Chains A and B, each alone.
Chain A
Amino acid sequence: MDHLRTVPPRGLLLTRVRIVLNGIELIPETSLAVRPGEVVTIMGPSGSGKSSLLAYLCGTLDRAFQATGEIWVNGIDVTRLPIEERQIGILFQDDLLFPHMTVGENLLFAIPRAVRSRRERRELMRQALAEADLAGYEERDPATLSGGQRARVALMRTLLARPRAVLLDEPFSKLDEDLQTTIRQFVFGHVHAQELPTLLVTHAAEDAQAAGGPVLRVGRPAAGPPVEPFAAARSALSRIRPAAKPRHP
């Protein structure tokens, strides 16, 4: 596997990822590189296997699926690692703020234990709040926040954990339309600024547009003839690495 060391160490790399369920190929063999600060969008209708791909990246794919291929983050193979060791930040459809903690505690929760000093932790938390335009909100109950505020807290929480890559799982789909634009800007602005390789999974074309990066279409629509998965993603293909040499076990 030494040849893989030759790829740029930073970024998110999928090599020959393939997911099969009950003999049906959900994700055909796919390789993909996401550079730091870049947002690659995976688009597909529901049931197209994009959520399975996401689950594989998170490490939460059900055993019923057969998945092969590797996931590399900043030069480290995380394929066999549990979620907590992958250092991949995830932003979900729902903000999933913990309802039993205050806004501030939700953020403190994410700051790695490596930051030992209490004062430093609180400082980081307050900075994050300020960045999200929520200074002074630390004692608030997340349930009292507006949708947009919650979405911003959720992103700050994801970022405070110092991820090496970020997965966005339709994070805007449940927001009001007028809010979607601002939150999109907020999220993309942050992942760009922090130079995080980011994978966005969505079925909304606006999301893909706003992300500005390459778009990869997967799966077949619920009805109609099968679509070649890469047909509409030639631009993305341009960066897909040529098939690697056969691996030696």
Chain B
Amino acid sequence: MKRLLATIVFLGWATAQSQEIPDSWPGVLEKARGQTVYFNAWAGDENTNAFIAWVGQRVREAHGIELKHVKITLTSEAVARVIAEMAAGRHTGGSVDLIWINGENFLAMKEQKLLFGPFTQRLPNTSLVDTAGKPTTVIDFTVPVDGLESPWRMAQIVYAYDSARLQNPPRSIPAMLDWARRNPGRITHPRIRNFLGSTFLKQALHELADDPKVLLEPATEASFIAVTAPLWRWYEQLKPTMWRKGEQFPETGPAMRQLLADGEIDIMISFNPNEASTAIGKGILPDSVRTFVLEKGTIGNTSFVAIPTNAAHKEGAMAVANFLLSPESQAHAMHPNSMGNFTVLDLNRLTPADRKRFEDLPRGVATLSAAELGRPLLEPHPSWMNRIVDEWERRYAK
């Protein structure tokens, strides 16, 4: 009996010990070895899925980590799972180790103190991040990152169009409405609960708002009504001219891309400047597809990974986050045949050999240069996005 009790006490101590994250990075890697990391990541894009599979292969080779891509349709699913686990009293050994996150999901988790960290300063590769040139790597949708999430890819809104059917795409939000009126049924956006759906409206709001600076503050009842009034005026007119008369929407971005491929629509929105090139390379889009941005610029942001407080395998998750920031991984991601997104790193901080990886990358046929893309506009505070979604549903979900 005594020995049993001692064993239990020892086991309890041992578990308590194992909760501690080692101080040194080699110590972290040591503990990470053999862990299985459940990476909850939106799986609606094949290129991203393939990239994550590649990461899994590399971290197995380099660190002995088993990376499991838990494929989810909405990031909020994973957030909800963490919340449910915490609510049920599971403060350790949670089922989500790493989560692809940003914006409103990050804000929700940060506010509810569901994120482990700050941990980013402990990742060796964090020092390579271009925080000055790419401020969105430390301020996510106006919310300070505070070391609770680690960046891994840059994103900026672009529009893709089929140049075989459309020579001069509309380069402003009002021009888009005029064009849609002349070409009914030729534009759409993913459904509003999909981030690209709300992004479509967010980009329009940024251009239509009298003063976009208010968007950096949290939305209030009053400011939301006043600021978004021009947006709804614009959208009321656009909606009936959209694909399926604005009564139906593709579920996701790739579903919308398929509509462009099938010739059902002529213009689509994307958060990946390289998406059209990658799709052309794979025969998914016709090679006549090109990319454009709006004259007044488009919104850009950064994708992050974060670790929930109750994650079972934090060391492994940190090792993966660090690998995502490595020049090898970043250059792989930027290749047009992979995801083709821009890197979060500052190339000047890399060794010449690593820098060469980036300089040697080819540019996709439909990808704009950095100059053509222009400096990205800042994301509004997440509350704007949330309210836009609610308001849209109030107006149009009947």
Q: Does chain A touch chain B in the assembled complex, meaning CB atoms less than 8 Å apart? A: no
Interface residues of B (CB under 8 A from A): none
